[in-house]
Amino acid sequence: MTTTLRPAEPLQHHEDGTRSRRYQVCVNSRPVGVTHLATHPVFGPRVARILDLRIDEPDRGRGRGTVAALAAEEVVRGWGCERIEIDVPATAEGVVRLVTALGYVERNRNMEKGLGTTAPALPAGSRGRPMTDAEYGAWEEHGKAAYARSWIDRGVPEDQAWAKSESEHARLLPQGRATPGMLLSVLEHEGTAVGTLWLAIGDAAGEDRAYVFDVEADARFRGRGHGRSLMLLAEAQAVAAGKHVLGLNVFAGNTPAERLYDSLGYRPVRYAFFKELL
């Protein structure tokens, strides 16, 4: 039996410069699933995304998804793409196994934790305070560079990584430190600044949620528990804002951060994978 992709619509061209197309997954011309392919709105036309890939229940477990994913790679190669990406819910364990077997590499994951109604206390000697205007400029430039480096270290070309960093910061902080729904804080320990926190409690985080966009302990003071204190500060601020879930992103390979979040009760909700197309 032959598994193929059959276009379900004309090639779509969108205002953001991307293109996309939906396909039926067919076995000997019989529809058994769907997939939706697109180019990337930030990384550009040479990077593809699998927005959806589903095989109907009666046809699962027969390798249809594997062949469909490989066929999707051939389609986007024809578009001139050099890399393909897919986001997978943590609950879709079968899809995680599938893309891993096909050579996709985890780049990052989203994690979440349910919050109670009582804000956690910070360790003795530690306190959070708002970031000042004088501190903001250096923090922003450092943050842009660090975020771009995180993508470069995981296979994204330098120009694409910097474009993503610049666009994300411009989108999320259009008014800088005064952007509504954003809390920019400095953690102090016994009067010394030891780390920074960027927490979203507005629309950018989603309803009933807060989101940690950036958290960093100063390199001079690492290994002293300040990373944990920063996360406790994030939880306290989220609870104070009436939020019930706190989310964050962690890049694959950042073992200290992964261990910290796991110890605090954060659990994966979505994985992001990529694959270079040879």
pLDDT of residue 2: 84
Helix axes 133-152, 158-172, angle to 10 degrees: 140
pLDDT of residue 155: 86
Domains within the chain, CATH numbers bracketed: 3-81 (3.40.630.30), 113-270 (3.40.630.30)
- Rg over alpha carbons for the chain, rounded to the nearest Å, is 21
User: Which residues of the chain are under the pLDDT cut of 50?
Assistant: none
Q: In degrees rounded to 5, what are phi and psi of residue 80?
A: 90, 15
pLDDT of residue 100: 96
Compute the distance between CA of residue 88 and CA of residue 205 in angstroms, rounded to an integer: 19
> Mind listing the pLDDT tens digit for each residue in 136-170?
999 999 999 999 999 999 889 999 999 999 999 99
pTM of the model: 0.90
Q: For residue 192, give the H/E element and its range.
A: strand 192-200
pLDDT of residue 1: 64
Bridge pairing between strands 44-55 and 83-89: parallel
